[in-house]
Amino acid sequence: MDVRKIKTAPGLEFDCSLAGSPEGVPVLLLHGFGVSRHFWDRQVPALADAGYFAIAPNQRGYSPGARPDPKDLAAYHIDRLVGDALDIVAAAGHGGSRFHLVGHDWGGSLSWIIAARYPERLRSLSMLSRPHPASFLRALALPDGEQKRRSGHHTAFLEPDAVPKLLANNCEWLRSRHMRQGMPEAATDAHMSVLGNEAALEAALAWYRSSGPRQPLGPTKVPTLYIWGDADDTVGRVAAEGTGEFIDAPYYFEVLPGVGHYAADQVPDKVNALLLAHLRRHAD
């Protein structure tokens, strides 16, 4: 696995983990909040060994070379983040190619949007944790308030003092959450090497601060694998199980018993097996 800087535009240079022949079918892997490109450290080599060209970037704000001023929330609008994903594939040499897309958490949110807007660009979609937005919104509105409680940290991230709180005591909040959700300590250390500083955290929280109301999406028309751990602290069963109602394509739902929010770090071999099987099913 190599680490390379991929420049998509002036002022936008992304640190990316890459592996595999550039002639292989590209697989783009998008991380979420609280982690980094290292979330995919076990998937990238496995994809390369299977003949794919794997690309896992530190996304906008996480890469020092692609970090607009986080006070400029327009620079972190969802359309910019979606554009980054497509531009990274193009800059890696696959401008018009169809590719496989894998997303987790915030990277999953982007991936659902990419699948809705550009289904012709995708061979397949693989999702970890993040349910379809329509299923999530429906669960969020239920009177039992379960999904709303699970998503309460989103509001806390909007507070002016969120960054110093997250950085306090060597990023204790993030480290504790990772541990409770089954992430190995070495994986947390790798993520904190990217995210555990004021500049990176301010930029990462700009994703939340610029997002605005969630926009409804129609049914996904791309073959989709959805992997959900039933110990995930951010996504409840109702949102997860309801996702299939919003997929108008071949759909595979895999529940990982006892697995938390960070399945790729917690059970990488299981994730690799499911992911590779899905990609093989949808090679065309």
Give pLDDT tens digits for 137-194: 999 989 998 888 988 777 888 899 999 999 999 999 999 999 999 999 999 999 999 9
Q: Give the number of residues written for the chain.
A: 284
Q: Quick one: which of 139, 267, 211, 87 has its CA closest to 254?
A: 267
**pLDDT value of residue 151:** 83
Distances (CA, A) of 147 to 167, 208, 222, 233, 264: 26, 17, 26, 10, 22
8: which residues sit within 8 A by CB, 6+ positions away?
Answer: 14, 66, 84, 87, 88, 90, 91
Q: Which amino acid is at 128?
A: L
CA 4-22-35 angle, to 5 degrees, is: 45
CA 248 to chain centre: 22
Rounded distance, CA 136 to CA 159, Å?
A: 23
**Is 62 within 8 Å of 32 (Cβ atoms)?**
no
**pLDDT value of residue 42:** 98
**Residue spans of beta strands (DSSP E) within the chain:** 2-9, 12-19, 26-30, 53-57, 99-104, 122-128, 224-229, 251-256
Domain boundaries, the chain: 2-281
**pLDDT value of residue 212:** 74
Regions in the chain scoring below 70 on pLDDT: none
**pLDDT value of residue 215:** 74
**pLDDT value of residue 158:** 87
Strand partners, 228: 255
Give pLDDT tens digits for 186-221: 999 999 999 999 999 999 999 999 987 777 899 999
**pLDDT value of residue 213:** 72
The CATH class given to the 2-281 domain equals alpha beta
Element (H, E) at 236: none
What 3-state class would DSSP assign to 247?
Answer: strand
**pLDDT value of residue 156:** 83
Neighbours of 64 (CB within 10 A): 16
Rounded distance, CA 109 to CA 8, Å?
A: 21
**Is 209 within 8 Å of 75 (Cβ atoms)?**
no
* Tokens (6 digits) for 192: 């904190």
Place of tokens 């290292």: 38
